[in-house]
Structure 1
């Protein structure tokens, strides 16, 4: 049997539970993976709460939490090429990540670089890949200024590292307690709060912001949107319901193995390093998810699964 952390219906933390279940069987184009690490993301608790993307299939309860993993291949389905038992891999599972075993489609899987730990690799498929897709979508020239709201989280950290690599100047909003951390990323720190747009303008080089990568939504993105004359340079991974009213668009996620290979190379080359700030064993998955659900984490939270 295989241990997993699930939600049994839509709701709050009270619907979460540990279960023992048979390891899934890999179908065509799938890998059976023994999970070594699983990234924890806001989307995990949002799915538990019933906030699914339009067009997504309905939940089948119990549903295993988690949308990004790294681990070791234990079996392959029909038609799989390029992967074999024993390979270290990472990607987006179709049967949840907070588990000892999961299924990984080869279309959103990649080989783990030797230079990355399993915990670091588990932070790539959602947080880092979202940052990569967003920075590419904005397509800013070197010397431009990018504002990242919520720069201290997993996506924001990666977006700041990637932007700096491409010669883009970064201003980031984050709580006062994250000031030193944000500045270590090469970004100018601005705390959220009243008169946010004015304070961002004062902090930005030349008083100008060329694009906004929003990761918090709410009042903050509404406040800073007027800083842009070109609202096509306003993208969000957090305010998808209201972004159209502001003239912006959601981050266009690619969700392909090619993107995973690209971010793996960047991580292996040292261009970006997933900032794993805390790890939890699988039997404390509830604590890991509560930490992310609080909205006050720094960097990335990862669940590590014992071999």
Structure 2
């Protein structure tokens, strides 16, 4: 049998159910992955809430929740090269990931570097791709001072580090409890809320040249008030806001597997940090999404599928 998280109808976390079904099996060109950890992402919540996001991702209940996963290959189908039984892999599989077993095309899995934890790998696909693509879009350099909202969150924490690697000065908005952490990454922290624009001006007397928004409309308005040109703003949190301005709305879909592998390697060797805020057993998936909705995270949340103590192989 195989457990998975089923979305029974659209709504809040209460629509998520953990159910049992027969195990899937790998077909030709496919591998089966025994999932160890699966990611918890804001887009998952937007999809199971219904509406435009659900329609965009072709979500029709009942379906399996989630996208990010990491685990060990335990079945290999015919005509598969480059992936073997026992390989530790990770990736993204929309409407498949939060399950004991995921069957995917073999050419979609990425091999997990040794220094990357299984928890981090299970949280990486969406956040990593979004951070890579959004930072790349602004073509940051040593001449830039970039404002990043939700700077300690799942995407933001990676984006601030990629921006720093590009040479930019980074100002990150976050709650007070994350300020020391951001400083440890070389980021200048500022507090959200009333007076944030003034605090950013104080932190960047020479001005702000770019903005990465992972929070929403208030952060975009702040960037505009600071004089950031619309073509140097990228938002993944408010993509339909003021389209006439021509701001970028680039998300993770345009990041390449090679770029994600490179980021995984940086996390593995310590060049980039990806904190895991909390780990929930699969049976507490509703609590995980309630935690996510509260915001102010440091890094990512993941679901534990209880496989780490199991032997690898088939």
TM-score (norm. length: structure 1):
0.92
- Residue 310 of structure 2 corresponds to none
- Residue 249 of structure 1 corresponds to 248
Cα offset, 1:245, TM superposition = 4.0
Cα distance change, pair 10–133 in 1 and its aligned pair in 2 (3 A): same
- CA offsets per residue over residues 216-269 of structure 1, 9 Å max, x none? 112232232232443211001111111524431112432542222121222223
- Residue 135 of structure 1 corresponds to 135
- Match of 2:155, SS? helix
- Match of 1:5, SS? strand
- Residue 80 of structure 1 corresponds to 80
The yes-or-no answer on 1:63 pairing with 2:44 is: no
Alpha-carbon distance in 2 for matches of 1:275, 1:104: 27
Greater alpha carbon shift after TM alignment, 190-199 vs 117-126:
190-199
- Residue 37 of structure 2 corresponds to 37
TM-score (norm. length: structure 2):
0.90
Cα offset, 1:302, TM superposition = 1.2
Show the 5 A alignment for 1:189-228.
189-204=189-204, 206-228=205-227
- CA offsets per residue over residues 120-145 of structure 1, 9 Å max, x none? 11122111221111111111112421
- Match of 2:239, SS? coil
Alpha-carbon distance in 2 for matches of 1:22, 1:107: 24
- CA offsets per residue over residues 157-188 of structure 1, 9 Å max, x none? 11111222222111011122322222222111
RMSD: 2.1
Cα offset, 1:55, TM superposition = 7.0
Where does the alignment leave 5 or more consecutive residues of structure 1 unmatched? Answer: none
Show the 5 A alignment for 1:1-307.
1-27=1-27, 29-53=29-53, 56-204=56-204, 206-242=205-241, 244-253=243-252, 254-307=254-307
Answer whether contact 2:132 2:255 (CA < 8 A) is retained: no
Answer whether contact 2:47 2:54 (CA < 8 A) is retained: no
Alpha-carbon distance in 1 for matches of 2:305, 2:164: 33
> Which consecutive segments of 4 or more residues in structure 1 shift more than 6 A?
none
- Residue 312 of structure 2 corresponds to none
Alpha-carbon distance in 2 for matches of 1:48, 1:101: 21
Answer whether contact 1:236 1:243 (CA < 8 A) is retained: no
Answer whether contact 1:92 1:104 (CA < 8 A) is retained: no
Alpha-carbon distance in 2 for matches of 1:275, 1:183: 15
- CA offsets per residue over residues 24-71 of structure 1, 9 Å max, x none? 333554331110011111111111101454973532422222110110
Alpha-carbon distance in 2 for matches of 1:112, 1:177: 31
Where does the alignment leave 5 or more consecutive residues of structure 2 unmatched? Answer: 308-314
Alpha-carbon distance in 2 for matches of 1:29, 1:243: 44
Answer whether contact 2:13 2:289 (CA < 8 A) is retained: no
- Residue 311 of structure 2 corresponds to none
Answer whether contact 1:91 1:104 (CA < 8 A) is retained: no
Alpha-carbon distance in 2 for matches of 1:71, 1:134: 27
- Match of 1:250, SS? coil
Alpha-carbon distance in 1 for matches of 2:138, 2:181: 24
Cα offset, 1:107, TM superposition = 4.7
Cα offset, 1:199, TM superposition = 2.2
Greater alpha carbon shift after TM alignment, 246-255 vs 295-304:
246-255
Alpha-carbon distance in 2 for matches of 1:149, 1:155: 10
Cα offset, 1:81, TM superposition = 2.4
